[in-house]
Amino acid sequence: MGFVSNNNAHLLSKMATNDGHGEKSPYFDGWKAYDNDPYHLTKNPDGVIQMGLAENELCFDLVQEWVVNNPEASICTAEGANEFKEISIFQDYHGLPAFREGVAKFMGKVRGDRVRFDPDRIVMSGGATGAHEMLAFCLADPGDAFLVPTPYYPGFDRDLRWRTGLQIVPIICESSNNFKITEEALESAFQRAKESNIRVKGLLITNPSNPLGTVLDRDTLRTLVAFINRKNIHLICDEIYAATVFDQPHFISIAEIIEEKDQQNCNRDLIHIAYSLSKDMGFPGFRVGIVYSYNDAVTNCARKMSSFGLVSTQTQHLIGSLLSDDVFVGKFLVESAERLAKRHEMFTKGLAQVGIGSLKSNAGLFIWMDLRRLLKEPTVDAETVLWKIIIHEVKLNVSPGSSFHCSEPGWFRVCFANMDDATLKIALRRIRSFVLQRSKGVEEPAKRKCWQSNLQLSLSSRRLDDIVMAPHMMSPHSPISSPLVRAT
């Protein structure tokens, strides 16, 4: 049963009724389109396939096997019921010791045990969303700003700004250098804020990147640390995709950088990490978010604030048991990387067969797809027109670059790890049909869903070097240049 508006918005607070949540965005509109017409193999084969959800469902069988073999880890089983009372009445917002120790150990393991994390600095929050808002509250006053490189996760507009009054000043990154964060771009953003009388309190980075699926190299991380120390502002590192790296180069945490010998003058009070198990383990429903700060005052303040978003002790108990199993964790991390690599290759090769390129990536649950050549003109309006066709006719929920504040129209984030192989193949068939029809200039009747149930195409399994492309298309991050697409 839905709620009927009675136009009593004036009875609510200005904060509750403003547009700070950011729902008026193609990113969220795509979700609504999926919710209204969700794809199902048998019940709704012509529905929208969800490719806008960065969810990791590739290793649930491993977790489920562990749960079955370790029933004592849950207080809701006969084997674990003897701990039901103790876990149920636990109220310490520091968290269960086993949980904090398990998370700290897992964070180190994900980073190749090249750095150690202190369990006493593990602060709980309601997912990464809660972690980011908590850090915003601790580090900035209303009206202050964080610098954030573009393109960036659309949810930051909500997580950082809605209830805190924080502003975001974009650091403009471009495809000409694969969206690398440069010192020039950092200085430019900082000066723009200064000229607008906006006080910059921090720099927020996502590593590995959402939506790019890339990792920051050591030199870039050192540049960032030098920049924030020079400006005396905070560095917030969102590392929630740390265990989704499936190919070289390996992930480098900010925790490793500040341990280097030449970083002795680094002010560690300015360094903070946001983490969660939503992406690396595929547990978004558990709402396990973490703030890890090297600043004692921030750690103490965040721990007090965590009362507003604690992880349930039932979840803490289960997670603590799971992450303390070294054999399971080792197997999970290896298998997860292998499955992500296989899925990434399957998807990018399928796109390449019709001349669709993407930014070269080695991490994350998505690719940054390049559809610039399909735009009638290089504008956000043209990108929006193309996105609406993909949503409403091709029936794929992909997210346009404009919702990620990308400065160049025509890029789209496409998620590939939240579905089974069969669904991914159907999505690729729809994309293939769409590109082929568009290149031929064939206009289908509005009501005919030619890229769905009527489609009988099968994807070719030929090698990439057998596909007819311009030579520079062999790079996975090149713009679209297939003869079929160029015909448009």
The closest alpha carbon to 289, from 54, 160, 136, 128, belongs to 128
How far is Cα 479 from Cα 400, in angstroms, rounded to an integer?
16
Q: Of the listed 144, 157, 159, 238, which one is catalytic? A: 238
Residue 376 known to be catalytic: no
The edge-to-edge listing of strands for the beta sheet with 145-149 is 122-126, 288-293, 271-276, 234-238, 200-206, 145-149, 167-171
Q: How far apart (Å, rounded) are the C-alpha atoms in residues 358 and 413?
A: 10
**Active-site residue, 279 included:** yes
Active site residue 238: yes
293 phi/psi in degrees, rounded to 5? -115, 145
Alpha-carbon dihedral angle through residues 430, 337, 366, 254, given to the nearest 10 degrees: -170
**Sign, Cα dihedral of 164, 239, 61, 362:** positive
Which candidate in 105, 279, 349, 395 is catalytic? 279
DSSP of 145-170: EEEEESS--TTHHHHTTTTT--EEEE
Q: DSSP character for 243?
A: G
Report d(CA 307, CA 93) in Å as an integer: 6
> Rounded to an integer, what distance in angstroms lies between the CA atom of residue 9 and that of residue 286?
33
Active-site residue flag, 240: yes
Q: How far, in Å, CA of 481 to CA of 472, rounded?
A: 8
Q: Which of 75, 122, 228, 240 is catalytic?
A: 240
Q: How many CA atoms lie within 13 A of 311 on its CB side?
A: 34
Q: How far apart are CA 121 and CA 266, in angstroms?
A: 19
Q: Is the link from the previous residue into 119 a cis peptide, with omega within 30 of 0?
A: no
Beta bridge mates, 399: 413
- Contacts of residue 205, Cβ cutoff 8 Å, sequence gap at least 6: 148, 149, 181, 216, 224, 235, 236, 237, 238
405: left (phi over 0), alpha (psi -120 to 50) or beta: left
First-residue to last-residue Cα distance in the chain: 46
Which runs of E-coded beta strand occur in 150-228? 167-171, 200-206
| Catalytic hit among 27, 152, 153, 292 | 153
Q: Give CA–CA dist 345/397, Å, rounded.
A: 20
Is the CB of residue 289 less than 8 Å from the CB of residue 275?
Answer: yes
Asked if 136 contacts 166 with a C-beta cutoff of 8 angstroms, the reply is: yes
Using CA atoms, how far apart are residues 74 and 403, in angstroms rounded to an integer? Answer: 40
Residues with catalytic function: 153, 238, 240, 279
